[in-house]
Amino acid sequence: QKEVEQNSGPLSVPEGAIASLNCTYSDRGSQSFFWYRQYSGKSPELIMFIYSNGDKEDGRFTAQLNKASQYVSLLIRDSQPSDSATYLCAVTLSGNTGKLIFGQGTTLQVKP
Amino acid sequence: DTGVSQNPRHKITKRGQNVTFRCDPISEHNRLYWYRQTLGQGPEFLTYFQNEAQLEKSRLLSDRFSAERPKGSFSTLEIQRTEQGDSAMYLCASSALGETQYFGPGTRLLVL
């Protein structure tokens, strides 16, 4: 079992819709959870981080964390074609190294 | 530009040659990380430094790989006797202690 799992997609949504991206992780001691966006040929760009159970909102983005079920999700409201990218879920494991364990990413396509 | 910088951005080399990459982190970030990313996969952790000390190395980091951060500022990653399987994007990220990581633009390596 991979430490962090994501559906590779592609996930296709129409412009203006809500895109829902999911991620599960295996280490119950995982401490911090991150969503990065990566455009083709570019490096990952931080979108959001979440540490505590519940929801965290930032503009059109909402991160949701459920530690009991070991999943974290990212909702993108009013999706735009410019949101088309690969979304990487990453976690830091127990301990304090800070190293990120990434999922393989979900490709999102927002169609005009 | 106060972000993470990496040089070179692209490197093409022949199998068996040595290559060296440089990463300049965000000023005053004491943690520096190296990751490797192949097509269709999320970044994989290679190693990290806290100040000048290399505190963890992944099993992915074979004896052909060496990293340094001699003065706790910039870092270099050297690959000796390159193999075609080393072709990947090499990403550097930096963070303050316990904070989120910010990635540089990456160095894309192609081994012929």
Q: Report residue A78's pLDDT band, with 50, 70 and 90 as the boundaries.
A: very high
Mean pLDDT of A69-96: 93
Element (H, E) at A3: none
Cβ neighbour number for residue B90 with a 10 Å cutoff:
23
SS3 of chain B: CCCCEEECCEEEECCCCCEEEEEECCCCCCEEEEEEECCCCCCEEEEEEECCEEEEECCCCCCCEEEECCCCCCEEEEECCCCHHHCEEEEEEEECCCCCCEECCCEEEEEC
A98 touches chain B (CB under 8 A): yes
**A7 near B CB under 8 A:** no
Q: Which of A1-5, A10-14, B89-93, B108-112 has the lowest mean pLDDT?
A: A1-5
| The pLDDT value given to residue B1 | 54
Q: What is the pLDDT, as a whole number, of residue A2?
A: 73
Q: Which residues in chain B have Cβ-Cβ distances shorter than 8 Å to A49?
A: 100
* Contact between residue B111 and residue B83 where contact means Cβ atoms under 8 Å apart: yes
**Strand pairing partners for B69?**
none
> What pLDDT was estimated at residue B48?
94
Q: Could you count the other beta carbons within 10 Å of the beta carbon of residue B18?
A: 11
* Strand B107-111 to B10-13 pairing: parallel
Token pair of A40 as six digits: 């083709």
Nearest CA in chain B to A90: B42
DSSP A7: -
A25-74, pLDDT tens digit by residue? 998 888 899 999 999 999 999 999 999 999 999 999 999 999 999 999 99
For chain B, positions 19-58, list CB contacts with chain A under 8 A: 31, 33, 35, 40-45, 48, 55-56
The distance of A21 to chain B (nearest Cα, Å) reads 15
CA distance B77 to chain A (A): 17
Any chain A CB within 8 A of the CB of B100?
Answer: yes
Does residue B97 have a pLDDT over 90? no
pLDDT value of residue A76: 98
pLDDT at position A1, please?
67
